[in-house]
Chains A and B, each alone.
Chain A
């Protein structure tokens, strides 16, 4: 059983398109996160939701919009994709904010 899953695993798209990445966790956690790992390998937090409420928004362009339909899901929608959005995006979850985070396998986004 996969604890934190993401779809798709790979995403190749053209500049200007809109795309979504889905994340689901079956751990019963209250808190979910989105991270971006850029070409320099830095993992940076983008968003965090606790009980479906946004608690962290780390200066991410408003082309990125997270949506949490329920505590088990946190999706990431990206409008008007740019070349600089190419990265690996990781979803994570934790029992509550500040606890150890469990990561999904990542989604490699390539914008051409």
Chain B
């Protein structure tokens, strides 16, 4: 029972263009969302997050958009660079500010940025 879904296993984008990675969730209790980036043979690295009280959060080239009514979030990378090539995991938590801190992950999307 996957509560966080990334339906695109892969995405290929030309350098300089925008990369848009999508994520859907089913649990309406989720109130905190994160994106992680993972290179081969390394652990996931935190990239950017958004609280459910916001609909947009921006950090440099990375912007996350949240549409609560659609239970959908997306990560935009502009401009895309070859070093962005990695697996991107969407994660969600119902426990922000609680004593638990569970994170539920999607299956990941492999982003390839080509020159």
A contact set with B: CB distance below 8 Å: 4, 31, 33, 40-45, 48, 50, 55-56, 58, 90, 92, 94, 96-106
Whether A40 pairs with B101 at a CB distance below 8 angstroms is no
New contact pairs (15) apart from A50-B101, A98-B100, CB-CB < 8 Å: A31-B101, A33-B101, A41-B107, A43-B44, A43-B105, A45-B102, A55-B101, A56-B100, A56-B102, A92-B43, A97-B99, A98-B93, A101-B101, A101-B103, A105-B42
CB of B58 closer than 8 Å to a CB of A: no
Q: Which of B43, B45, B99, B107 has the most CB of A within 10 A?
A: B43
Render B55-96 as a binary contact track against A, CB cut-off 8 A, 1 for contact. 000000000000000000000000000000000010001011
B49–A103 touching, CB < 8 Å: no
- Known: A90-B44, A105-B42. Is A98-B105 also a contact (CB below 8 A)? no
Size bin of chain B's contact surface: 20 to 34
A residues in contact with B97, CB < 8 Å: 98
Query: Known interface pairs A4-B43, A90-B43, A105-B43. Does A99 touch B105 (Cβ–Cβ under 8 Å)?
Result: no
- CB neighbours of B43 from chain A (8 A): 4, 90, 92, 103-106
